[in-house]
Chain A
Amino acid sequence: MRYIEQETVVRRMNGRMIINRLFQGLFLFATLLALLALVILLYRIVTQGAGHLSLDFLSNFASRFPEKAGIKAALVGSIWLMAVVAPTSIILGVGSAIYLEEYAKKGRITTFIQMNISNLAGVPSVVFGLLGLTIFVRALALGNSILAAGFTMSLLILPVIIVAAQEAIRSVPGELRDASYGMGATKWQTIVRIILPAAIPGILTGSILALSRAIGETAPLIVIGVPVIIQFLPAGVMDTFTALPMQIYDWSSRPQAEFQTVAAAGIIVLMAVLLFMNSIAVIIRNKFDKSY
Chain B
Amino acid sequence: MNTATIKTNINTAQPAAETAQQVEKDSVYSTRQLNLWYGNNHALKNVDLEIGENEVTAIIGPSGCGKSTYLKTLNRMVELVPSVKTSGEIQYRGRNIFDSDYSVEELRTRVGMVFQKPNPFPKSIYDNIAYGPRIHGIKNRKILDEIVEKSLRGAAIWDEVKDRLNENAYGISGGQQQRICIARALAIEPDVILMDEPTSALDPISTLKVEELVQELKEQYSIIIVTHNMQQAARISDKTAFFLNGEVIEYDSTDAIFSNPADKRTEDYISGRFG
Contacts of A189 in B (CB 8 A): 135
Q: Is the CB of B122 within 8 A of A292?
A: yes
Query: Which chain B residues (57-107) contact chain A, with CB distance < 8 Å?
Result: 75, 77, 80, 82, 104-107
In angstroms, Cα B196 to Cα A274, docked, is 50
Query: In terms of DSSP, what is the predominant structure of the interface of chain A?
Result: helix
In angstroms, Cα B81 to Cα A17, docked, is 48
Contacts of A105 in B (CB 8 A): 82
Q: Which of A176, A183, A197, A290 contacts B132 (CB 8 A)?
A: A183
In angstroms, Cα B109 to Cα A183, docked, is 6
In angstroms, Cα B112 to Cα A181, docked, is 10
**Inter-chain CB contacts under 8 Å: number:** 73
Contacts of A180 in B (CB 8 A): 121, 131, 135
Contacts of A185 in B (CB 8 A): 105, 131, 135
A31 at the interface (CB under 8 A from B): no
Q: Which residue of A lies closest to B116 (CB)?
A: A175
Give the total of A residues in contact with B, Cβ under 8 Å.
23
Q: Which residue of A lies closest to B114 (CB)?
A: A182
A275 at the interface (CB under 8 A from B): no
Q: Is the CB of B135 within 8 A of A181?
A: no
Query: Which chain B residues (104-151) contact chain A, with CB distance < 8 Å?
Result: 104-109, 112-113, 115, 117, 119-122, 131-132, 135-136
Contacts of B113 in A (CB 8 A): 178, 182-183
Which B residues have a C-beta under 8 Å from some C-beta of A?
75, 77, 80, 82, 104-109, 112-113, 115, 117, 119-122, 131-132, 135-136, 168, 170, 181, 184-185, 188
Which A residues have a C-beta under 8 Å from some C-beta of B?
105-106, 173, 175-186, 189, 193-194, 197-198, 290-292
A175-B115, A182-B115, A184-B135 given. 20 additional CB < 8 A pairs? A175-B119, A176-B119, A177-B80, A179-B115, A179-B120, A179-B181, A180-B131, A180-B135, A181-B104, A182-B112, A183-B109, A183-B184, A183-B188, A184-B106, A184-B108, A184-B136, A184-B188, A185-B105, A189-B135, A292-B170
